[in-house]
Copies of this chain bind each other. A is one copy, B any other.
């Protein structure tokens, strides 16, 4: 039973994730999700009272997956630069290795029906960056710039790089792109 339940629920979330990234939230019907998941339409509504509940649940699930991926293997004994580089690399590799999750989060964040508060909540996940930046650069300023600005540029640049790698489809250049991207940011964000 317990396993069965988990199977159905997981199947629904898997199908939903795939379809949402392919066709968007409004573009995907609950009927289609159920069909792809191999369950009846009623079953979907047993687990998720409304479509919106499904979207939100899926978002927290996906955010969790990416979050643990992003924090992996950061050695707190390493130098600040090494840790930043690892974080940068993790962000990009997690996105490239989990393209559906990556696209879903992007779509969710820029979605108009998601409120501003939810979007801020969404951003909280990436306070890892903010924490690390603040710890490394002292209080309030990197070079002469605000921490929030630094974090935003770091985060959005990493997303841009993931898109570049996914669109070009050339995974072999990935290491070089990651390295080059980090050099730009590190040079830009460091104090003189």
B residues less than 8 Å from A157 (CB atoms)? 152-153, 156-157
B residues less than 8 Å from A116 (CB atoms)? 167
B residues less than 8 Å from A152 (CB atoms)? 157, 160-161, 163-164
With A25-B26, A157-B156, A160-B156 already in contact, the answer to whether A183 and B144 are too (CB < 8 A) is yes
Interface residues of A in 147-169 (CB under 8 A from B): 148-150, 152-153, 155-157, 159-161, 163-164, 167
Q: Identify A144's interface contact among B119, B167, B180, CB under 8 A.
A: B180
Whether B164 pairs with A148 at a CB distance below 8 angstroms is yes
With A24-B112, A111-B24 already in contact, the answer to whether A155 and B160 are too (CB < 8 A) is yes
Name which residue of chain B comes closest to A173, CB basis: B146
Whether A143 pairs with B184 at a CB distance below 8 angstroms is yes
> What is the number of residues of chain A that contact chain B, defined by CB distance less than 8 Å?
44
Interface membership of A45, Cβ < 8 A: no
Given A21-B112, A107-B112, 17 extra CB contacts under 8 A = A24-B24, A24-B112, A24-B113, A106-B110, A107-B110, A116-B167, A143-B187, A146-B180, A149-B161, A152-B160, A153-B160, A153-B181, A156-B160, A157-B157, A184-B189, A185-B188, A186-B188
Measured between C-beta atoms, what is the minimum distance from A167 to chain B in Å? 7
Interface membership of A47, Cβ < 8 A: no
Whether A143 pairs with B183 at a CB distance below 8 angstroms is yes
Interface membership of A127, Cβ < 8 A: no
B residues less than 8 Å from A181 (CB atoms)? 145, 149, 153
